[in-house]
Amino acid sequence: MRIRITLSNKMIQKLNKKASDAEFNGDIKALKRVQAILMINEGNRFKTIAYFLKISKETIRLWLKNFLLLGINFLKYQKSSGRPPKLTKKQ
């Protein structure tokens, strides 16, 4: 699937800054998210991006949706709460 987005130069600069910060801090998840958005902006297909970043096309679609809805704030990774424990603290 190919979706065209056009980012402003200012947004590209912000994303590149976030990518270098993420790389410096070892935040691979944020780095992959930024790379995916930048690659979409360059006109790459989801299949190509998925292969390059070793993620699914569905993940790319979700990241793009979140980027379009939340802007640069989509990079803030929120740990999922996970399954609640079956045992109580006393057990």
* Tens of each residue's pLDDT in the chain, 91 residues: 678 899 999 999 999 999 999 999 999 999 999 999 999 999 999 999 999 999 999 999 999 999 999 998 887 766 667 787 787 777 6
Question: Quick check: pTM over 0.75?
Answer: yes
| Contact between residue 64 and residue 37 where contact means Cβ atoms under 8 Å apart | yes
> In whole angstroms, what separates CA 6 from the centre of its chain?
17
Distance CA 78, CA 68 (A): 18
Q: Which amino acid is at 83?
A: R
What are the phi and psi torsion angles at 76 (to 5°)? Answer: -70, 110
Position 74 scores a pLDDT of: 84
User: In 3D, which of 85, 45, 86 has the Cα closest to residue 64?
Assistant: 45
Enumerate the H helices of 26-56 as residue ranges: 28-41, 46-53
Position 30 scores a pLDDT of: 92
